[in-house]
Amino acid sequence: MNVYTAVKRMVVGRRLTNAQLSETLLPKRLALPVFASDALSSVAYAPDEILITLSLAGMAGFMFSWEIAVVVAIVVGVVVMSYRQTVHAYPNGGGDYEVASANLGRYAGLAVASSLLVDYVLTVAVSVSAGVINAKAMLPFLDGYEALTAVIVIIFLTLMNLRGVRESGTAFAIPTYVFMFSMLGMIAIGLFRILVLDQPLRSETADLIVVPPEGSPEFVGWAMAAIILRAFSSGAAALTGVEAISNGVPAFKPPKSRNAATVLGLLGALAITMLLGIVALANLTNVHLIDELTGTHYVNAAGETIHSAAHTVTGQLARVVFLDWFEPGFYIVLTATMLILFLAANTAFNGFPSLASLLAKDGFLPRQLHTRGDRLAYSNGILMLSGGAILLVVVFDASVTALIQLYVVGVFLSFTLGQIGMIRHWTRALKTERDRKSRRTMFRSRIINTVGAVSTGAVLIVVLISKFTHGAYLAVVAMAVMFLLMLAISNHYRAVHEEVALTHESDRALPSRVRGVVLVQRVDLPTARAIAFARAARSTTLSAVTVAVDDEEVESILDDWENEDFGIPLKVIASPYREITGPFIRYVSELRTENPRDVVIVYIPEFVVGHWWEGILHNQTALLIRTRLHFMPGVMVTSVPYQLKSSGKAKAAAHKASQPRLR
């Protein structure tokens, strides 16, 4: 085992065979943290984004926070119910992509796929960046290093997911459950202290007055509607991650559809409870946030202006609920929130590779993305997602407020098209179904999906209108580019398939002659082996060719050739400009033009080396010639390897790696 393999085994783990795929399937207790962490974690930053956006209207804007939260919660419930129909109807995974492709056509499926792929990348960038922002409440030294910290976290998540879905789920289950119980506990204790014990809990920003940016219009009429709609679209981030379960149904243990539907139900109940609970508690404790980027600021009781933003909603609530009553609770909530925001990206690390695998299988992405890695995870998809997320984090400096403007558009486009596809699915099924009980079930499902399509379609319009000029146009452009790229890849694969397909008109006639040519650069053991191999192939004609770059060297080659008596002629090609590749290529081309039905086989001796630096010192001319000949029709290139002593260790390592392991 070489150093690379040893490090890979240590980081990723031992390889798994195809027969062990069933061992990686997830029970419900692990599927919840794997697939629901994104949607659950959004309650940690969705309330922040609602309040930050409402701060553009000053203190009057915060009056509408609970109404917005209620509407978002209703949409979450509708979407969860809609997707429960999807996982039962399409249990093979693929989610909205499969639904839209099957019922609305190829272009609708590609629109869904492109939007989801972009949104998954944004999920990782937004979740990890939000986690870093929350971490600063406990770790102030992270200030100024947000982007670097986010990149490190993404790399860690990548390595964990390369170890496999089940293993990453096991590692992330405990933090996810701690977050759920600590958040529910904070909400319950906070409401109990305020409503039952009548304790006046006030957040650290309760006495600060929020002043909107200078020159802002009054919070009435269209200005009020615009701010409320924009706040709603930011809060709609709470819905992200729901679609990942429908994409990942194959990862569940049997019965797959029922288990996926159960996890969806749990996800919906938890997300709605947490979102409404946090917003209610934020209203009761008078949490006020500002948007530093727009010029919104605080004014304290002394009339002093404060431009720096306060802690997050979760940070302020944990402080006011626990710090004077049960101090460890404060650190538990903040630590769990930080971890869940980091782990929320794990939903995308499962959704993106699965979707990319389906797209690769259908010919819309490179086929390498369909291949599972050593741990039966889609490694190439994981690495692609990681690279895209790191790029976004660096470009936007891990700013959640900047990244959130690009967010949500894609997921609501996929929601809407997926639900429209489900309506058509049930309509088609009803035309052939005669059983009354089944028809009642289908009618009910169609009604649910219709409500889902109308709701998500309305939200999509709101998001596009309210966020388009604030950065959402970048997400739309990215989706369009992804759509066109996948279409181009599909067209390429189709064209190649048609070009290489066997037909009755295909020319299957044998070549009239096979002409063998051995490239000779010196007379030595590799050349002798290439000649022996060429003679064993019994070509119609066989000749050896050397290019005269140096007169003295050619004389030496000719003398050695005559002494060895290989039994075949050696042709010397003149090269007045001391070039090997060009004259040799022209010679082979001339052999082809003499008779187009002839086939030319070129034998090239090559060294097999054991070190990377030896590869730089050898085989460069052979590589150039082989590359050029590959573009010449009717020419076959055969590399004849000669193993140098340095290749012994590499050979032994390769042999050892190929042997079956005893378990």
Q: How many CA atoms lie within 13 A of 362 on its CB side?
A: 18
Is residue 15 predicted with pLDDT exceeding 70?
no
What is the model's pLDDT at position 335? 87
Task: Please tell me whether residue 240 adopts helix, strand or coil conformation.
Answer: coil
- pLDDT of 6 reads 57
Question: What confidence category does residue 532 fall into, taking pLDDT thresholds of 50, 70 and 90?
Answer: very high
Q: What is the pLDDT of residues 397-412, one digit of tens each?
A: 888 767 766 777 888 8
Q: Among 101-105, 129-133, 421-425, name the one with the lowest average pLDDT.
A: 129-133
Give the pLDDT score at 186. 95
pLDDT digits (tens, 9 = 90+) for 310-332: 678 888 999 999 988 888 998 89
Confidence band of 295 (pLDDT split at 50, 70, 90) = confident
At residue 255, the 3 state secondary structure works out as coil
Read out DSSP for 59-74? GGGGGGHHHHHHHHHH
Instruction: Please list, in sequence order, all residues whose beta carbon lies within 8 angstroms of the beta carbon of residue 59, skipping any fewer than 6 positions away.
Output: 209, 210, 288
Nearest to 209 by CA among 28, 66, 59: 59
Distance between CA atoms of 101 and 108, rounded to whole angstroms? 6
**What pLDDT is recorded for position 663?**
40
Cis ω for the linkage preceding 255 (within 30 of 0): yes
Indicate whether 534 pLDDT > 90.
yes
Instruction: For residues 533-552, give the mean pLDDT.
Output: 90
pLDDT for 322 equals: 92
Q: What is the pLDDT of residue 465?
A: 81
Residues 423-480 have pLDDT tens digits of 999 999 998 888 888 899 899 989 999 988 888 888 888 878 877 777 778 888 999 9
Give me the torsion for CA of 241, 280, 273, 64, rounded to 10°: -50
Average pLDDT over residues 200-224: 80
Q: Please tell me the predicted confidence (pLDDT) of residue 646.
A: 79
Beta strands per DSSP E along 170-245 = 209-211
Residue 657 has pLDDT above 90, yes or no: no
In the chain the domains, ranked by start, together with CATH numbers, are 3-493 (1.20.1740.10), 514-658 (3.40.50.620)
Q: Which of 332, 328, 291, 298 is nearest to 314 (CA)?
A: 332
Looking at residues 88-108, what average pLDDT do you find?
85
Q: Which is more confidently placed, 131 or 189? A: 189
Residue 184 has pLDDT above 60, yes or no: yes
Q: Which of 146, 107, 96, 104 is CA-nearest to residue 125?
A: 146
> How would you list the strands of the sheet with 541-548, edge to edge?
570-574, 541-548, 514-519, 599-608, 635-643
pLDDT in tens, 378-398: 788 889 999 999 999 998 888
Token pair 């070129």 in the structure block, residue:
602
As separate numbers, helices (DSSP H) first and strands (DSSP E) second, the chain gives 24, 8
Q: What is the pLDDT of residues 549-574, one digit of tens each?
A: 888 888 999 999 988 888 899 999 98
The more confident residue out of 605 and 659 is 605
User: Of the candidates 233, 128, 257, which has an alpha carbon nearest to the alpha carbon of residue 120?
Assistant: 128
| Of the candidates 513, 496, 536, the residue with the CA atom closest to the CA atom of residue 634 | 513
Q: What's this model's pTM, rounded to 2 decimal places?
A: 0.72
Return the pLDDT at 167.
57
Check whether 195 has a pLDDT greater than 60.
yes
Does position 247 have pLDDT exceeding 80, yes or no? Answer: no
Residue 19 confidence (pLDDT) above 70: no
Distant-in-sequence, close-in-space partners of 122: CB < 8 Å, separation ≥ 6: 392, 403, 406, 407, 410, 475
Q: What is the pLDDT of residues 254-280, one digit of tens each?
A: 888 888 889 889 988 998 999 999 999
- 503 — pLDDT class (breaks 50, 70, 90): confident
pLDDT at 619: 76
Best CA proximity match to 83, nearest among 269, 273, 243, 249 = 243
Most confidently modeled range among 82-91, 142-151, 372-381, 536-545: 536-545
The lowest-confidence range among 156-160, 187-191, 556-560 is 156-160
Residue 42 has what pLDDT? 76
CA distance linking residue 629 with residue 386, whole number of Å: 38
Q: How far apart are CA 126 and CA 344, in angstroms?
A: 9
Determine the Cα–Cα distance for residues 247 and 347; give it in Å rounded to an integer. Answer: 11
**Percentage of residues in the chain with pLDDT exceeding 90?**
25
Q: Is the distance from CB of 153 to CB of 132 less than 8 angstroms?
A: yes
Judged against a pLDDT cut of 90, whether residue 111 lies above it is answered with: yes
